[in-house]
């Protein structure tokens, strides 16, 4: 090569490096095909194993992924590859699975229907519980540590049934039909319907490739699933999880968007949808006869849908400033309080109030830090309704007057928090300190004085998170968010520990009564 001109040497070097890169990529693809494709699918969209895409691996850092490939981990069926692959090969697989796909994958009606599993036909199981407990005071506890859930008696604090779930549940399960059914969503898009009376799954379907959350219509007939991948909303029949419609989420210019979240607005018989990449809020009505006189409702006949439902579920699109990464629905369900994290304080505000009837933003909210509005709660203070939200960036709880949308108090905490909960019958609001060195603390705030009256440390050195109350508000349940974790039950008035149940990384706990009555003290 020494006799070649400098220019020719450079060209040849670049060509050799490119060829080596192609060879390396081909080697990684071949390794993946040989060792991974059977469980995770050749396209990395997932099969019996989870999808291996950057969007689905946000909770798993590359270094941890390397360890999983090398050594496996508890509660999974994947074998360790330490004795099969060398360090360079393992790293090539890590690099591959964190490489985005070149195009957004398709997951339409055909793929969804093909994935559907019927365990029991609708109405084929007895409409009577197999156990003796107050149905309204049941809890469903998600145990992330080994991908299980526990149905808990909220009166005796005794587990009724523990069962496996899909990998990496996300977005919170939703109760329906008086506590008989509960619906789970996994990060990989699997929607599972569980019959709590008969302690069995009845149906499952994969509604997307990367899913944020689901919402159930207040009449129990429909489920809407919010997807990051593909950029869609998936509407399901709640009876058997049959797909009704796949809605491509696009604006007028054809720009597509991930879906941040979806919730149901019961009094409006509508789903409310926040979008990650398009400055709009969508409202989708699910009544048999949508309300007359609602200007702005449109049908998009380009959507994939079953013939019988082709003219149903109209969409109203409301323009907003920025994007709603996170939002809170007021108790009257006519306004959305949302944050646009892409907008800084220099832009004038970090939040906005969108009126669903007026179809526009009606107020700006100067929210400091990065509030976690989907975990916000409300209560009455001096004759006014206030909103309280934890903050995942700053060490404070923000209190907002919902009449003028002004921040009236910042309550200092020992670190940023993630979840905040209360109950109509409780004088206290509880907030964790999920992020930072003080993650083992739990603050208890007096709802009238707005002062922290006690700071609990349920398990020193271990993360405390996500409080939920019994239906009467007498007891508060706290998760110790660790593999060797626990569910800690407190007397909600004396703040003394009552009971402790060992669990494997318990996260959310979902009470039938509080969720179905849309308690102002819990997320919806």
- CA 297, 301, 306, 310 torsion: positive or negative? positive
Question: What residue spans in the chain does CATH classification 1.10.760.10 cover?
Answer: 6-97
How do beta strands 506-511 and 243-248 pair? unpaired
Segment 156-159 long-range contacts (CB within 8 Å, at least 24 positions apart): 157/475, 157/489, 157/498, 157/499, 157/501, 159/501
Is it the case that residue 3 has pLDDT exceeding 70?
no
350-401: per-residue pLDDT in tens? 789 999 999 999 998 888 778 899 999 999 999 999 999 999 989 999 999 9
Neighbours of 159 (CB within 10 A): 15
- Tell me how far apart the alpha carbons of residues 402 and 374 are, in angstroms, rounded to a whole number: 16
pLDDT at 322: 81
179 contacts 517 by C-beta, under 8 angstroms: no
Q: Which alpha helices (DSSP H) does 254-336 contain, by range?
A: none
502-511: per-residue pLDDT in tens? 999 999 999 9
Q: Per the structure block, which two tokens stand in for 367?
A: 């929210």
Paired residues of 246 in beta bridges:
234, 304
pLDDT at 164: 97
Tell me the average pLDDT of the chain: 88
Distance of CA 212 to the CA centre of its chain: 5
pLDDT at 306: 55
Is it the case that residue 58 has pLDDT exceeding 50?
yes
Q: Which of 522, 484, 518, 478 is nearest to 503 (CA)?
A: 484
pLDDT at 20: 42
Backbone angles phi, psi at 137, to 5 degrees: -110, 25
120: buried, middle or exposed (CB in 10 Å: 19+, 13-18, 0-12)?
Answer: middle
Q: Per the structure block, which two tokens stand in for 363?
A: 């107020």
pLDDT at 50: 80
Q: Which of 489, 519, 487 is nearest to 503 (CA)?
A: 487
- Tell me how far apart the alpha carbons of residues 471 and 178 are, in angstroms, rounded to a whole number: 13
Q: Per the structure block, which two tokens stand in for 464?
A: 């405390």
Q: Which alpha helices (DSSP H) does 72-130 contain, by range?
A: 87-97, 109-115
- Tell me how far apart the alpha carbons of residues 255 and 278 are, in angstroms, rounded to a whole number: 8
Indicate the pLDDT class of residue 17, thresholds 50, 70 and 90.
very low
Percent of the chain clearing pLDDT 90 (strictly above): 66
CA distances from 94 to 53, 88, 151, 392, 402 (A): 10, 10, 36, 29, 47
Distance of CA 513 to the CA centre of its chain: 21
2.10.10.90, 2.130.10.10, 3.40.50.300, 2.60.120.10: CATH of 369-524:
2.130.10.10
Paired residues of 273 in beta bridges:
262, 282
- Tell me how far apart the alpha carbons of residues 415 and 459 are, in angstroms, rounded to a whole number: 17
Is it the case that residue 301 has pLDDT exceeding 50?
no
6-97 in CATH: which number? 1.10.760.10
132 contacts 158 by C-beta, under 8 angstroms: no
410-469: per-residue pLDDT in tens? 999 999 999 999 999 999 999 999 998 999 999 999 999 999 999 999 999 999 999 999
- Tell me how far apart the alpha carbons of residues 353 and 361 are, in angstroms, rounded to a whole number: 5
Question: What residue spans in the chain does CATH classification 2.130.10.10 cover?
Answer: 369-524
145-200: per-residue pLDDT in tens? 999 999 999 999 999 999 999 998 988 999 999 999 999 999 999 999 999 999 99
274 contacts 196 by C-beta, under 8 angstroms: no
Is it the case that residue 113 has pLDDT exceeding 90?
yes
Indicate the pLDDT class of residue 204, thresholds 50, 70 and 90.
very high
For residue 240, how many C-alpha atoms fall within 13 Å in the half-sphere facing its CB? 13
- CA 425, 428, 431, 437 torsion: positive or negative? negative
């Amino acid at each position: 090569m020494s006799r070649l001109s400098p220019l020719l040497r450079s060209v040849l070097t670049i060509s050799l490096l490119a060829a080596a890169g192609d060879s390396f990529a081909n080697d990684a693809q071949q390794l993946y095909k040989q060792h991974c494709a059977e469980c995770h699918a050749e396209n990395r969209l997932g099969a019996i194993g989870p999808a291996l895409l950057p969007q689905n691996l946000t909770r798993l850092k590359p270094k941890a992924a390397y360890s999983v490939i090398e050594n496996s981990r508890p509660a999974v069926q994947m074998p360790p590859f330490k004795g099969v692959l060398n360090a360079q090969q393992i790293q090539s697989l890590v690099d591959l699975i964190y490489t985005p796909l070149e195009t957004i994958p398709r997951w339409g009606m055909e793929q969804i229907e093909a994935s559907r599993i019927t365990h029991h036909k609708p109405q084929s199981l007895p409409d009577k519980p197999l156990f003796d407990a107050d149905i309204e005071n049941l809890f469903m506890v998600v145990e992330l540590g080994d991908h299980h859930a526990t149905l808990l008696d909220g009166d005796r604090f005794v587990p009724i049934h523990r069962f496996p779930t899909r990998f990496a549940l996300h977005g919170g399960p939703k109760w329906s039909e008086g506590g008989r059914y509960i619906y789970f969503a996994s990060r990989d898009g699997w929607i599972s319907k569980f019959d709590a009376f008969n302690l069995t799954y009845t149906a499952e379907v994969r509604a997307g490739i990367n899913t944020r959350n689901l919402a159930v219509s207040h009449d129990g007939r429909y489920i809407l699933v919010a997807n990051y991948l593909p950029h869609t909303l998936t509407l399901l029949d709640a009876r058997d999880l049959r797909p009704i419609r796949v809605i491509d989420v696009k604006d007028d210019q054809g720009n597509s968007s991930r879906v941040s979240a979806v919730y149901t607005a019961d009094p409006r018989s509508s789903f409310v949808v926040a979008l990650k990449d398009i400055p709009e809020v969508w409202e989708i009505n699910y009544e048999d006869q949508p309300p007359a006189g609602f200007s702005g409702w449109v049908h998009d006949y380009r959507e994939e849908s079953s013939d019988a439902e082709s003219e149903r579920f109209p969409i109203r699109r409301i323009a907003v400033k920025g994007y709603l990464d996170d939002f809170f629905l007021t108790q009257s369900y006519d306004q959305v309080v949302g944050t646009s994290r892409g907008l800084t304080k220099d832009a004038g505000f970090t939040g906005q109030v969108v009126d669903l009837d007026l179809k526009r933003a009606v107020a700006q909210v100067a929210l400091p830090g990065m509030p976690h509005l989907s975990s916000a709660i409300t209560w009455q203070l001096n004759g006014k309704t206030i909103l309280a939200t934890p903050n995942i960036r700053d060490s404070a709880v923000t209190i907002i007057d919902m009449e003028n949308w002004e921040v009236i108090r910042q309550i200092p905490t020992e670190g940023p928090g993630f979840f905040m909960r209360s109950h109509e019958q409780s004088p206290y609001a509880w907030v964790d300190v999920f992020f930072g060195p003080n993650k083992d603390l739990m603050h208890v705030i007096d709802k009238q004085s707005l002062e922290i009256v006690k700071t609990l440390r349920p398990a020193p050195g271990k993360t405390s998170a996500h409080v939920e109350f019994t239906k009467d508000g007498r007891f508060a349940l706290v998760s110790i968010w660790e593999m060797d974790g626990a569910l800690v039950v407190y007397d909600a008035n004396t703040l003394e520990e009552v009971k402790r149940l060992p669990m494997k990384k318990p996260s959310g706990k979902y009470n039938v009564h509080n969720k179905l009555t849309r308690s102002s003290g819990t997320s919806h």
